[in-house]
Amino acid sequence: MGIIVQKFGGTSVATPECRDLVVAKIKTAHDKGFNPVVVVSAMGRKGESYATDTLIDLARTAYKDIASRELDQILYCGEMISAVIMTGTLQAAGLDAIMLTGGQAGIITDNNFTNARILKVDPSRILSLLRMGKIPVVCGFQGATIDYEFTTLGRGGSDTTAAALGSALDAEMIEIYTDVDGIMTADPRIVSTAKILDCISYGEVCQLAHQGAKVIHPRAVEIAMQKNIPLLVKSTFSDEPGTLITNIVPEDTTESNVNDRVATGVTYLANIAQIKVNLHDSLNNIASFNIFKSMANNGISVDLINVHPGQIMFTVSEELADKAAAQLREFGCDVQTTLDCAKVSVVGGGINGVPGVMASFIEALSINNIPILQTVDSHTSISVLIKKSFVHLAVTALHEKFNLSC
């Protein structure tokens, strides 16, 4: 039997009771004859002692703008603690587990601290441990540069670790264990009637993840997709079958056609600021060019871009809004910034070219008196920018309008 990568998120490894459930999942795979490679996140969520957010807050008590290289050294500790505790728990259960850091597992990254990109994965050490009958327990979210600097892969990056290892090891399956029963039509914390999706295509889940569904990291999906390795998102806390991410539709799925659904899910991204720039000359392409060039030169990524004669609108992450506006004012631009915005999106592989989707979208928001600040669409999504205070109402209304409830 082949290799299976099993990744357990922060809530799955938070307490001794949770870790016993994790041991059972690993044992089941092992007993079926798979070679499990385990990936763990830091234990717990914000507020808990060794969670990533807690470590960030701790580092920032020393200096609010602490350098990203130093921040990465403390972030490393979260996954290290978790992997040691999980390895010990597996050993106590009679399994021959061994803990590895991201670097020891062969994950080589660039030196873009706190958001490093994986350059290559050398699977030789893990393969030799598997040949010895061991169960490697790898710290998620981590890598190392060729100069042995510790790096992290960006928030939610343990999913990326799992996918990168799965790809390098030619795993049969990558399992992502979390605290929900699978990928749902909306965040169940917002929409209580959200439905589990049995099966979803790589493309759709990538869109959902890019548009804010944090249940899986989009980079992980992209990596798995390149080698067509199936990803299974499921709960540590139940025996529900979970959501299969693949391009091959299983014959017994209850979903119609995973690539053709008009609406698969509703998602949102908060903490966005809208920037409006009024141009003096209504057809000034040079001004537009300078505006976007200056954003790029300052490392500010822009989204929801609308260029009209006389006006340019776009969004930036809220924490960069002041920097962006100050930069634009240096050019003498007339800039208006609206803080506290959110982008709400409906994602569906079959949304493109279907008449009436936009009308339904706008109707759902209008009935609920939600003002629309901007819209944008792609071949698999429609998004609107609204004030953050309307997010719950908008997500719920769109979920209902597109008949996504169970």
Cα 60 to its chain centre, rounded Å, is 24
156 contacts Mg ion (rule: CB under 5 A): yes
Spatial contact of 196 and 178, defined as CB atoms under 8 Å apart = no
Q: Which is nearer to ligand ASP, 140 or 349 (CB)?
A: 140
Q: Which is nearer to ligand ADP, 313 or 384 (CB)?
A: 384
Q: Which is nearer to ligand ADP, 175 or 187 (CB)?
A: 187
Residue tagged 């991410």 (tokens): 245
Residue of closest CB approach to ligand ADP:
9
Q: Which is nearer to ligand ASP, 139 or 373 (CB)?
A: 139
Buried b (16+ CB within 10 A) or exposed e, 32-47: eebbbbbbbbbbbbee
Q: Looking at residue 355, what DSSP letter applies? A: T
Residue of closest CB approach to Mg ion:
156
Q: How far is the CB of 164 from Mg ion (least distance, A)?
A: 15
State how far the alpha carbon of 402 is from the alpha carbons of 259, 260, 307, in Å. Answer: 16, 14, 30
Q: How far is the CB of 218 from ligand ADP (least distance, A)?
A: 12
What is the sign of the dihedral through the CA atoms of 33, 81, 158 and 245?
Answer: positive
And the tokens for 316?
């930036």
Q: How far is the CB of 182 from ligand ASP (least distance, A)?
A: 17
Query: 63: Cβ–Cβ under 8 A, 6 or more apart, which residues?
Result: none
136 contacts ligand ASP (rule: CB under 6 A): no
Spatial contact of 48 and 14, defined as CB atoms under 8 Å apart = yes
Q: Which is nearer to ligand ASP, 55 or 384 (CB)?
A: 55
Spatial contact of 391 and 270, defined as CB atoms under 8 Å apart = yes
And the tokens for 234?
């499921």
Spatial contact of 325 and 192, defined as CB atoms under 8 Å apart = no
And the tokens for 273?
């600021």
> Which three-class secondary structure state does DSSP give residue 298?
coil
Q: Looking at residue 14, what DSSP letter applies? A: S
Helix count and strand count (H, E) for the chain: 11, 18
Q: How far is the CB of 125 from ligand ADP (least distance, A)?
A: 25
Among 6, 12, 35, 41, binds ligand ASP (CB under 6 A): 41
212 contacts ligand ASP (rule: CB under 6 A): no
Q: How far apart are CA 348 and CA 338, in angstroms?
A: 29
Q: Enumerate residues 146-205 that contact ligand ASP by CB under 6 A.
A: 155-159
Q: How far apart are CA 198 and CA 193, in angstroms?
A: 16
Q: How far is the CB of 307 from Mg ion (least distance, A)?
A: 35
Q: Enumerate residues 310-339 that contact Mg ion by CB under 5 A.
A: none
78 contacts ligand ASP (rule: CB under 6 A): yes
246 binds, among ligand ADP, ligand ASP, Mg ion, none (CB under 5 to 8 A by kind): none
Contact residues toward ligand ADP (CB under 6 A) are 9-12, 41, 156, 178-180, 183-184, 186-189, 213-215, 265
Residue in 396, 336, 334 with CA at minimum distance from that of residue 367: 396
Q: Which is nearer to ligand ASP, 137 or 364 (CB)?
A: 137
44 binds, among Mg ion, ligand ASP, ligand ADP, none (CB under 5 to 8 A by kind): none
52 contacts ligand ASP (rule: CB under 6 A): yes
Beta strands in 114-185 (DSSP E): 118-121, 135-139, 142-144, 150-152, 173-178
Q: What binding mask, one character per residue, do residues 104-143 give for Mg ion by CB under 5 A, x or -?
A: ----------------------------------------
Q: How far is the CB of 213 from ligand ADP (least distance, A)?
A: 4
List residues binding ligand ASP (CB under 6 A). Answer: 9-10, 41-42, 52, 78, 140-141, 155-159
Binding site for Mg ion (CB under 5 A): 9, 156
